[in-house]
Structures are given as structure tokens and as C-alpha cells.
Amino acid sequence: MFKLKAPGGRNNLCGKKLEFLRKQQNLSQRKMAAKLQLAGYDVDNHFIRRIENGERFITDIELLMFSEFFHVEIAELFEGIISE
């Protein structure tokens, strides 16, 4: 069965941007997951790793969560990713 994939076979478009934003704030995947848990989201560091590595699809609810967490518009999560 055909599956939609991003360039390079990734399952999402914004994982690398999320990794960039996380590192910009000097957060480990574990610390980011802990902060998201405190905000009421059921995530762990494996969730973050799989998204950043492009192994996992991202839902619209998760996009909203990340945009709120990083205080950016959802569209900013996709900036600079088309040229991969």
C-alpha cells in the first residue's frame, strides 16, 4: 500500500525544525517531554525522538501543542523544510 512520505522518506515535514527549536532552547528530548507533561500532554522522550527523526507522523493536535510550546505560529514549524 502506498504511504505518503516527505522528502528523504520521512513521515513528517517539521521534525527537523522541531529539533532545531528544541536545541535553540538548550532542552534535551527528556527535558522537553517533561515540560510537555507538566503542561498536560502525555508524551515521553521517545515520542520526541521519533518525530525529530521522521519516524512518526504528526497529528494536527500535536502541531498545535508544539506551536504553543515554542510560542510560534504553526506555519513557522514548516519554514525551511521544503529544500531537504
Residue 6's pLDDT is what? Answer: 79
45 touches 29 (CB < 8 A): yes
CB within 8 Å of 7: residues ≥ 6 apart: 82, 84
Residue 40's pLDDT is what? Answer: 94
Residue 83's pLDDT is what? Answer: 46
Domains and CATH numbers, the chain: 12-78 (1.10.260.40)
Residue 3's pLDDT is what? Answer: 72
Which grid cell is 59?
497529528
Averages of pLDDT over runs of 10 residues in the chain (84 residues) are 77 94 97 96 96 95 96 91 50
pTM summary value: 0.87
